[in-house]
C-alpha cells in the first residue's frame, strides 16, 4: 500500500503546532524542518514545512499564509483513547485556547478539529441490543467531552 502523509496548512504557526502536538502524543517527534529561500513565497529563512510523526503517523505542517486556506470541521483527526484518563489528557490540552464542541469534538488553538473518543464507544453504539445503543447515543448527544462512566451507565440502565 502506498504511504500517505497528512498535510496541515497554517498561516505561520506550523512549527509551534508540530511542537505542541508531538508533546502530547507518545512516540512522537519532529523529523525535519525546511525553510523558505530567497525565491519565497515566505520570508527567506522562515519555516516553510515541519515534518513530524504522531505515534508513528506522518504529518507535515505547511506555513502557507493566511490568504489561501483555513481548517474546517469537515476534516478532523480522531484519537482512539483507552480510558477516561487519556480522554481528559487530550481534551484538556486542546481546550486550552481551543473551542469545545459536541460529542467528543474539539478545535485546538490552531483551529484543527479533533475527535477525542473512547475506544469502547463504537462497541457501545453498535450494541446488538438496539435499546442499549439508543441510550448510549442519547447520552453522548448531551456531552461535549466524552465521559466514559456516563456512557457505560447509560448502557446498563
Q: Within this chain, do residues 39 and 102 fall inside the same structural domain, yes or no? A: no
| CA–CA gap between residue 130 and residue 7 (Å, rounded) | 39
Domain tally, the chain? 2
Range(s) of the domain holding residue 142 = 71-157
pLDDT one-digit tens code per residue, 72-107:
889 999 999 999 999 999 999 999 999 999 999 999
Tell me the β-bridge partners of 63.
Answer: 10
Same domain, 130 and 154: yes
Using one digit for the tens of pLDDT, what is the confidence trace for 14-53? 999 999 999 999 999 999 999 999 998 889 999 999 999 9
> What DSSP line would sit under 36-69, residue for residue?
--TT-SSPTTSEEEEEEEETTEEEEEEE--TTT-
Among 69, 96, 123, give the residue marking a domain's end.
Answer: 69
Residues 6+ away with beta carbon under 8 Å from 1: none
Q: Which of 24, 47, 69 is the last residue of a domain?
A: 69
Amino acid at each position: 500500500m502506498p504511504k500517505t502523509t497528512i498535510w496541515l496548512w497554517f498561516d505561520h504557526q506550523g512549527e509551534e503546532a508540530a511542537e505542541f502536538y508531538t508533546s502530547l502524543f507518545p512516540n512522537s517527534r519532529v523529523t525535519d524542518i525546511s525553510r523558505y529561500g530567497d525565491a519565497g513565497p515566505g520570508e527567506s529563512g522562515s519555516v516553510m514545512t515541519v515534518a513530524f510523526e504522531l505515534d508513528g503517523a506522518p504529518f507535515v505542517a505547511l506555513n502557507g499564509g493566511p490568504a489561501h486556506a483555513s481548517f474546517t470541521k469537515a476534516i478532523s483527526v480522531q484519537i482512539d483513547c483507552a480510558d477516561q484518563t487519556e480522554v481528559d489528557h487530550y481534551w484538556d490540552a486542546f481546550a486550552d485556547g481551543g473551542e469545545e464542541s459536541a460529542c467528543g469534538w474539539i478545535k485546538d488553538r490552531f483551529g484543527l478539529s479533533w475527535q477525542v473518543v473512547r475506544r469502547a464507544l463504537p462497541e457501545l453504539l453498535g450494541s446488538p441490543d438496539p435499546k442499549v445503543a439508543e441510550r448510549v447515543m442519547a447520552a453522548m448527544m448531551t456531552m461535549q467531552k466524552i465521559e466514559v462512566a456516563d456512557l457505560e451507565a447509560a448502557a446498563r440502565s
